[in-house]
Amino acid sequence: MIEPTAPHVPAAAGEGAARALPAIGERLGVWRVAAELFECASGFWYRVEHGKASAQAGMALVYRHDADAQAVLMRFAEDSEALARFQYPVYGAPLDSGLSPSGLPYLIVPAMDGAPLLRVAMALPLKRRMQLLLDLIALLDAAHAQGLVLHELDPGTLWLSPAQQLHWLGQGLAPRDSQAPAALVRAAEPLANARQRAGGRPDANSETHALGRLLGLLVNGRLPRREAGDARDDTVEEEAEPGTTPVASLQSWLSLTAAQRESLDQLLDRAMMDGRSFTDRELLAQAVRDWIDFEPPAAARGAGAPASAPMPLLPPPPPLETKADRPATLPASRLERLSSLALVLALAAVVVWLLLRSG
Protein backbone atom coordinates (compact mmCIF):
# COMPACT_ATOMS: atom_id res chain seq x y z
CA MET A 1 0.00 0.00 0.00
CA ILE A 2 1.41 3.37 -1.00
CA GLU A 3 1.12 5.92 1.75
CA PRO A 4 0.07 9.47 0.87
CA THR A 5 2.97 11.83 0.39
CA ALA A 6 2.94 15.20 2.07
CA PRO A 7 3.21 17.81 -0.68
CA HIS A 8 5.97 20.37 -0.62
CA VAL A 9 5.96 23.90 -1.97
CA PRO A 10 6.59 23.72 -5.73
CA ALA A 11 9.61 25.47 -7.17
CA ALA A 12 8.65 26.10 -10.79
CA ALA A 13 11.48 26.89 -13.19
CA GLY A 14 11.19 30.29 -14.82
CA GLU A 15 8.00 31.33 -13.00
CA GLY A 16 9.40 33.48 -10.23
CA ALA A 17 8.63 32.80 -6.59
CA ALA A 18 6.88 29.54 -5.79
CA ARG A 19 3.24 29.88 -4.76
CA ALA A 20 2.00 28.47 -1.47
CA LEU A 21 0.04 25.23 -1.51
CA PRO A 22 -3.33 24.96 0.24
CA ALA A 23 -3.29 24.10 3.93
CA ILE A 24 -5.62 21.69 5.69
CA GLY A 25 -8.90 23.48 6.33
CA GLU A 26 -8.31 26.08 3.61
CA ARG A 27 -11.01 26.76 1.05
CA LEU A 28 -10.87 26.03 -2.66
CA GLY A 29 -14.02 27.79 -3.74
CA VAL A 30 -16.89 25.95 -2.00
CA TRP A 31 -14.58 23.04 -1.15
CA ARG A 32 -12.55 22.61 2.04
CA VAL A 33 -9.18 20.84 2.03
CA ALA A 34 -9.52 17.82 4.33
CA ALA A 35 -6.28 15.86 3.79
CA GLU A 36 -3.09 15.77 1.77
CA LEU A 37 -2.80 12.79 -0.58
CA PHE A 38 -0.14 12.48 -3.28
CA GLU A 39 2.29 14.44 -5.38
CA CYS A 40 2.42 13.90 -9.15
CA ALA A 41 4.12 15.67 -12.04
CA SER A 42 1.03 17.87 -12.53
CA GLY A 43 0.88 19.01 -8.93
CA PHE A 44 -0.63 17.81 -5.67
CA TRP A 45 -3.71 15.74 -4.82
CA TYR A 46 -5.91 16.56 -1.81
CA ARG A 47 -9.03 15.08 -0.29
CA VAL A 48 -11.72 17.79 -0.17
CA GLU A 49 -15.21 18.16 1.26
CA HIS A 50 -18.03 20.33 -0.03
CA GLY A 51 -18.53 23.32 2.24
CA LYS A 52 -22.32 23.29 1.93
CA ALA A 53 -22.87 19.55 1.71
CA SER A 54 -20.43 17.85 4.07
CA ALA A 55 -21.46 14.40 2.85
CA GLN A 56 -20.15 15.24 -0.62
CA ALA A 57 -16.44 14.45 -0.91
CA GLY A 58 -14.09 14.87 -3.80
CA MET A 59 -10.42 15.20 -4.68
CA ALA A 60 -8.59 18.31 -5.78
CA LEU A 61 -5.63 18.37 -8.11
CA VAL A 62 -3.80 21.64 -7.41
CA TYR A 63 -1.42 22.27 -10.29
CA ARG A 64 2.14 23.27 -9.50
CA HIS A 65 2.37 25.75 -12.40
CA ASP A 66 0.18 28.85 -12.47
CA ALA A 67 0.83 28.86 -16.25
CA ASP A 68 -1.50 25.86 -16.45
CA ALA A 69 -4.44 28.08 -15.50
CA GLN A 70 -5.54 28.74 -19.09
CA ALA A 71 -5.52 25.05 -20.01
CA VAL A 72 -7.39 24.10 -16.82
CA LEU A 73 -9.91 26.92 -16.34
CA MET A 74 -10.80 27.74 -19.93
CA ARG A 75 -11.26 24.10 -20.89
CA PHE A 76 -13.39 23.50 -17.80
CA ALA A 77 -15.62 26.44 -18.73
CA GLU A 78 -15.96 25.22 -22.32
CA ASP A 79 -16.05 21.43 -22.02
CA SER A 80 -17.23 20.42 -18.54
CA GLU A 81 -20.90 19.94 -19.51
CA ALA A 82 -19.99 17.61 -22.38
CA LEU A 83 -17.61 15.64 -20.14
CA ALA A 84 -20.27 15.31 -17.42
CA ARG A 85 -22.55 13.59 -19.96
CA PHE A 86 -19.95 10.89 -20.61
CA GLN A 87 -20.95 8.02 -18.35
CA TYR A 88 -18.26 5.35 -18.01
CA PRO A 89 -17.62 3.30 -14.85
CA VAL A 90 -13.95 4.28 -14.45
CA TYR A 91 -14.06 7.86 -15.71
CA GLY A 92 -14.43 10.75 -13.27
CA ALA A 93 -15.49 13.97 -15.01
CA PRO A 94 -14.36 17.29 -13.47
CA LEU A 95 -16.81 18.76 -10.94
CA ASP A 96 -15.36 22.22 -10.37
CA SER A 97 -12.36 24.40 -11.11
CA GLY A 98 -10.80 27.63 -9.92
CA LEU A 99 -7.74 29.29 -8.42
CA SER A 100 -6.36 28.61 -4.95
CA PRO A 101 -5.87 31.56 -2.57
CA SER A 102 -2.25 31.76 -3.77
CA GLY A 103 -3.24 31.72 -7.45
CA LEU A 104 -2.61 28.08 -8.42
CA PRO A 105 -5.23 26.46 -10.70
CA TYR A 106 -7.12 23.49 -9.30
CA LEU A 107 -9.56 20.89 -10.59
CA ILE A 108 -12.10 19.02 -8.44
CA VAL A 109 -12.96 15.42 -9.41
CA PRO A 110 -14.97 12.62 -7.75
CA ALA A 111 -13.35 10.97 -4.74
CA MET A 112 -11.90 7.48 -5.01
CA ASP A 113 -9.56 5.14 -3.18
CA GLY A 114 -6.21 4.18 -4.63
CA ALA A 115 -3.18 6.09 -5.84
CA PRO A 116 -1.83 7.73 -8.98
CA LEU A 117 -1.08 4.97 -11.48
CA LEU A 118 2.64 5.52 -11.95
CA ARG A 119 3.24 5.42 -8.20
CA VAL A 120 2.07 1.81 -8.01
CA ALA A 121 2.34 0.42 -11.55
CA MET A 122 5.88 -0.97 -11.22
CA ALA A 123 4.73 -3.34 -8.49
CA LEU A 124 2.51 -5.10 -11.06
CA PRO A 125 3.66 -7.82 -13.47
CA LEU A 126 4.82 -6.53 -16.84
CA LYS A 127 1.91 -7.95 -18.84
CA ARG A 128 -0.58 -6.52 -16.36
CA ARG A 129 0.98 -3.08 -16.78
CA MET A 130 0.64 -3.40 -20.53
CA GLN A 131 -2.98 -4.52 -20.14
CA LEU A 132 -3.69 -1.23 -18.38
CA LEU A 133 -2.97 0.54 -21.66
CA LEU A 134 -5.59 -1.64 -23.35
CA ASP A 135 -8.04 -0.70 -20.57
CA LEU A 136 -7.41 2.96 -21.34
CA ILE A 137 -7.92 2.37 -25.07
CA ALA A 138 -11.27 0.69 -24.29
CA LEU A 139 -12.26 3.83 -22.39
CA LEU A 140 -11.22 5.94 -25.39
CA ASP A 141 -13.32 3.74 -27.69
CA ALA A 142 -16.37 4.54 -25.55
CA ALA A 143 -15.45 8.24 -25.49
CA HIS A 144 -15.11 8.39 -29.28
CA ALA A 145 -18.56 6.82 -29.62
CA GLN A 146 -19.93 9.84 -27.71
CA GLY A 147 -18.08 12.48 -29.72
CA LEU A 148 -15.11 12.94 -27.37
CA VAL A 149 -11.42 12.78 -28.33
CA LEU A 150 -8.17 12.63 -26.41
CA HIS A 151 -7.05 16.21 -25.89
CA GLU A 152 -4.09 15.42 -23.63
CA LEU A 153 -2.72 12.58 -21.54
CA ASP A 154 -1.54 13.73 -18.14
CA PRO A 155 -0.23 10.62 -16.29
CA GLY A 156 -1.04 12.20 -12.93
CA THR A 157 -4.78 11.98 -13.67
CA LEU A 158 -4.64 8.21 -14.14
CA TRP A 159 -5.32 6.33 -10.90
CA LEU A 160 -5.27 2.69 -9.90
CA SER A 161 -7.91 1.48 -7.47
CA PRO A 162 -7.17 -1.09 -4.73
CA ALA A 163 -8.82 -3.65 -7.07
CA GLN A 164 -6.24 -2.71 -9.74
CA GLN A 165 -8.80 -0.99 -11.95
CA LEU A 166 -7.56 1.92 -14.04
CA HIS A 167 -9.45 5.17 -13.47
CA TRP A 168 -9.15 8.40 -15.44
CA LEU A 169 -9.97 11.63 -13.63
CA GLY A 170 -10.33 15.15 -15.00
CA GLN A 171 -10.43 16.71 -18.44
CA GLY A 172 -8.00 14.92 -20.73
CA LEU A 173 -10.96 14.38 -23.05
CA ALA A 174 -12.65 17.09 -25.11
CA PRO A 175 -15.54 17.30 -27.58
CA ARG A 176 -14.48 17.00 -31.22
CA ASP A 177 -15.81 20.50 -31.87
CA SER A 178 -14.43 22.05 -28.68
CA GLN A 179 -13.76 25.77 -28.86
CA ALA A 180 -11.53 25.75 -25.80
CA PRO A 181 -7.88 26.75 -26.15
CA ALA A 182 -5.63 24.05 -27.58
CA ALA A 183 -3.18 24.58 -24.70
CA LEU A 184 -1.86 21.54 -22.83
CA VAL A 185 -1.02 21.33 -19.16
CA ARG A 186 2.72 21.11 -18.78
CA ALA A 187 2.72 17.56 -17.41
CA ALA A 188 1.04 16.33 -20.62
CA GLU A 189 3.62 17.87 -22.98
CA PRO A 190 6.19 15.02 -22.79
CA LEU A 191 3.54 12.64 -24.14
CA ALA A 192 2.26 14.98 -26.87
CA ASN A 193 3.63 15.05 -30.42
CA ALA A 194 5.41 18.08 -31.85
CA ARG A 195 2.41 19.33 -33.84
CA GLN A 196 0.14 19.41 -30.81
CA ARG A 197 2.82 20.99 -28.61
CA ALA A 198 3.01 23.75 -31.22
CA GLY A 199 -0.72 24.45 -30.79
CA GLY A 200 -2.34 21.96 -33.16
CA ARG A 201 -5.68 20.34 -32.42
CA PRO A 202 -5.75 16.68 -31.37
CA ASP A 203 -6.10 13.99 -34.04
CA ALA A 204 -5.57 10.25 -34.43
CA ASN A 205 -1.80 10.68 -34.70
CA SER A 206 -1.49 12.77 -31.53
CA GLU A 207 -3.71 10.29 -29.68
CA THR A 208 -1.64 7.28 -30.72
CA HIS A 209 1.62 9.09 -29.98
CA ALA A 210 0.45 9.87 -26.43
CA LEU A 211 -0.67 6.28 -25.87
CA GLY A 212 2.64 4.97 -27.17
CA ARG A 213 4.55 7.21 -24.79
CA LEU A 214 2.39 6.03 -21.90
CA LEU A 215 3.22 2.45 -22.87
CA GLY A 216 6.90 3.33 -22.50
CA LEU A 217 6.27 4.71 -19.03
CA LEU A 218 4.38 1.58 -18.01
CA VAL A 219 7.13 -0.74 -19.27
CA ASN A 220 10.30 1.20 -18.43
CA GLY A 221 9.20 3.68 -15.78
CA ARG A 222 10.65 6.51 -17.86
CA LEU A 223 10.51 8.14 -21.26
CA PRO A 224 13.40 8.15 -23.74
CA ARG A 225 15.51 11.24 -24.17
CA ARG A 226 14.13 13.95 -26.39
CA GLU A 227 14.21 13.26 -30.09
CA ALA A 228 16.59 15.23 -32.29
CA GLY A 229 14.92 18.42 -33.41
CA ASP A 230 12.38 18.35 -30.59
CA ALA A 231 10.53 21.64 -30.68
CA ARG A 232 9.94 21.90 -26.92
CA ASP A 233 11.32 24.88 -25.09
CA ASP A 234 14.63 23.76 -23.59
CA THR A 235 14.24 26.30 -20.76
CA VAL A 236 11.23 24.38 -19.43
CA GLU A 237 12.17 21.55 -17.11
CA GLU A 238 10.00 18.44 -17.13
CA GLU A 239 9.02 17.06 -13.74
CA ALA A 240 9.47 13.31 -13.41
CA GLU A 241 6.35 11.47 -12.32
CA PRO A 242 6.95 10.56 -8.65
CA GLY A 243 7.23 6.81 -8.21
CA THR A 244 8.36 6.10 -11.79
CA THR A 245 11.78 4.59 -11.28
CA PRO A 246 13.37 2.53 -14.07
CA VAL A 247 15.08 0.34 -11.45
CA ALA A 248 11.69 -1.09 -10.47
CA SER A 249 11.23 -2.55 -13.97
CA LEU A 250 14.59 -4.35 -14.02
CA GLN A 251 13.40 -7.63 -12.48
CA SER A 252 10.55 -8.11 -14.97
CA TRP A 253 12.89 -7.17 -17.83
CA LEU A 254 15.48 -9.75 -16.80
CA SER A 255 12.80 -12.43 -16.64
CA LEU A 256 12.19 -12.11 -20.40
CA THR A 257 14.01 -14.16 -23.01
CA ALA A 258 16.37 -12.35 -25.36
CA ALA A 259 13.79 -12.67 -28.13
CA GLN A 260 11.05 -11.22 -25.93
CA ARG A 261 13.25 -8.27 -25.05
CA GLU A 262 14.05 -7.70 -28.70
CA SER A 263 10.40 -7.76 -29.74
CA LEU A 264 9.37 -5.53 -26.83
CA ASP A 265 12.15 -3.06 -27.69
CA GLN A 266 10.88 -3.01 -31.24
CA LEU A 267 7.31 -2.42 -30.08
CA LEU A 268 8.34 0.46 -27.81
CA ASP A 269 10.56 2.08 -30.44
CA ARG A 270 7.74 2.11 -32.95
CA ALA A 271 5.10 3.15 -30.44
CA MET A 272 7.11 6.08 -29.08
CA MET A 273 9.46 7.16 -31.83
CA ASP A 274 8.80 6.46 -35.49
CA GLY A 275 5.25 7.84 -35.82
CA ARG A 276 4.54 5.62 -38.84
CA SER A 277 3.89 2.10 -37.56
CA PHE A 278 0.72 2.91 -35.63
CA THR A 279 -1.53 5.44 -37.30
CA ASP A 280 -4.41 4.91 -34.88
CA ARG A 281 -5.00 3.47 -31.44
CA GLU A 282 -6.45 0.19 -32.74
CA LEU A 283 -3.21 -0.76 -34.52
CA LEU A 284 -1.26 -0.02 -31.36
CA ALA A 285 -3.75 -1.98 -29.24
CA GLN A 286 -3.48 -5.02 -31.52
CA ALA A 287 0.33 -4.99 -31.35
CA VAL A 288 0.18 -4.84 -27.55
CA ARG A 289 -2.36 -7.69 -27.46
CA ASP A 290 -0.17 -9.81 -29.73
CA TRP A 291 2.81 -9.31 -27.42
CA ILE A 292 0.81 -10.09 -24.28
CA ASP A 293 -0.89 -13.17 -25.76
CA PHE A 294 2.22 -14.75 -27.27
CA GLU A 295 3.41 -17.83 -25.41
CA PRO A 296 6.87 -19.20 -26.26
CA PRO A 297 7.08 -22.93 -27.11
CA ALA A 298 7.28 -25.28 -24.14
CA ALA A 299 10.92 -26.10 -24.92
CA ALA A 300 11.78 -22.42 -24.82
CA ARG A 301 10.35 -22.17 -21.31
CA GLY A 302 12.56 -24.97 -19.99
CA ALA A 303 15.56 -24.29 -17.83
CA GLY A 304 18.07 -25.39 -20.45
CA ALA A 305 16.38 -23.69 -23.40
CA PRO A 306 18.30 -21.12 -25.42
CA ALA A 307 17.47 -17.48 -24.68
CA SER A 308 16.60 -16.82 -28.32
CA ALA A 309 13.22 -18.60 -28.43
CA PRO A 310 11.30 -17.48 -31.52
CA MET A 311 9.15 -14.42 -31.02
CA PRO A 312 6.85 -12.80 -33.58
CA LEU A 313 8.13 -9.40 -34.64
CA LEU A 314 6.08 -6.50 -35.88
CA PRO A 315 5.75 -5.99 -39.61
CA PRO A 316 8.09 -3.32 -40.93
CA PRO A 317 6.74 0.25 -41.00
CA PRO A 318 5.77 1.79 -44.35
CA PRO A 319 8.90 2.69 -46.36
CA LEU A 320 9.97 6.31 -46.63
CA GLU A 321 11.23 5.74 -50.19
CA THR A 322 10.15 3.54 -53.08
CA LYS A 323 12.07 0.50 -54.17
CA ALA A 324 12.84 2.22 -57.47
CA ASP A 325 14.74 4.91 -55.56
CA ARG A 326 17.03 2.40 -53.85
CA PRO A 327 20.23 1.02 -55.38
CA ALA A 328 19.95 -2.65 -56.27
CA THR A 329 21.86 -4.79 -53.78
CA LEU A 330 22.24 -8.50 -53.40
CA PRO A 331 21.42 -10.12 -50.05
CA ALA A 332 24.50 -11.00 -48.03
CA SER A 333 23.66 -14.72 -48.08
CA ARG A 334 23.51 -14.78 -51.91
CA LEU A 335 26.82 -12.97 -52.21
CA GLU A 336 28.41 -15.52 -49.90
CA ARG A 337 27.13 -18.41 -52.04
CA LEU A 338 28.46 -16.82 -55.24
CA SER A 339 31.84 -16.18 -53.60
CA SER A 340 32.06 -19.80 -52.46
CA LEU A 341 31.20 -21.08 -55.94
CA ALA A 342 33.84 -18.87 -57.55
CA LEU A 343 36.46 -20.14 -55.09
CA VAL A 344 35.57 -23.78 -55.83
CA LEU A 345 35.83 -23.18 -59.59
CA ALA A 346 39.19 -21.47 -59.18
CA LEU A 347 40.57 -24.36 -57.11
CA ALA A 348 39.28 -26.86 -59.69
CA ALA A 349 41.02 -24.94 -62.49
CA VAL A 350 44.31 -25.01 -60.56
CA VAL A 351 44.01 -28.76 -59.97
CA VAL A 352 43.34 -29.41 -63.70
CA TRP A 353 46.30 -27.24 -64.69
CA LEU A 354 48.65 -29.11 -62.34
CA LEU A 355 47.46 -32.51 -63.65
CA LEU A 356 48.06 -31.38 -67.24
CA ARG A 357 51.58 -30.23 -66.39
CA SER A 358 52.46 -33.43 -64.61
CA GLY A 359 51.16 -35.48 -67.57
| pLDDT value at residue 234 | 45
Residue 189 DSSP one-character state: G
In sequence order, which residues have a C-beta less than 8 Å from that of residue 89 and are 6 or more positions away?
none
| pLDDT value at residue 252 | 75
3-state DSSP assignment of residue 70: helix
Q: Is residue 258 part of a domain?
A: yes
Q: Is residue 312 part of a domain?
A: no
> C-alpha dihedral over 316, 318, 321, 327, to 10 degrees?
20
Query: What gap in Å lies between CA 2 and CA 23, rounded to an integer?
Result: 22
Please, what is the angle between helix 281-293 and helix 258-269, to 10°?
170
Q: Is residue 315 part of a domain?
A: no
Residue 65 lies in domain:
27-224+243-296
Query: What gap in Å lies between CA 215 and CA 205, rounded to an integer?
Result: 15
Q: Is residue 42 part of a domain?
A: yes
Q: Is residue 348 part of a domain?
A: no
What are phi and psi for residue 293, nearest 5 degrees?
A: -80, -20
Contact 244/195 with Cβ under 8 angstroms?
A: no
Q: Is residue 273 part of a domain?
A: yes
Q: Is residue 256 part of a domain?
A: yes
Number of domains in the chain: 1
What is the Cα Rg of the chain in Å?
27
**Which pTM was predicted?**
0.77
Q: Is residue 112 part of a domain?
A: yes
| pLDDT value at residue 223 | 80
CATH number at residue 259: 1.10.510.10
Residue by residue, pLDDT tens for the chain (359 residues) are: 344 554 444 444 344 457 889 999 999 999 999 999 999 999 999 999 998 776 789 999 999 999 999 999 999 999 999 999 999 999 999 999 999 999 999 999 999 999 999 999 988 999 999 999 999 999 999 999 999 999 999 999 999 999 999 999 999 999 999 999 999 999 999 999 999 999 999 999 999 999 999 999 999 888 876 554 454 444 344 556 665 555 556 677 778 888 898 999 999 999 988 778 899 999 999 999 999 998 665 544 544 444 434 444 455 555 444 444 444 443 444 445 555 556 656 666 655 555 666 65
3-state DSSP assignment of residue 43: strand
Contact 65/119 with Cβ under 8 angstroms?
A: no
Q: Which of 139, 160, 136, 159 is nearest to 148 (CA)?
A: 139
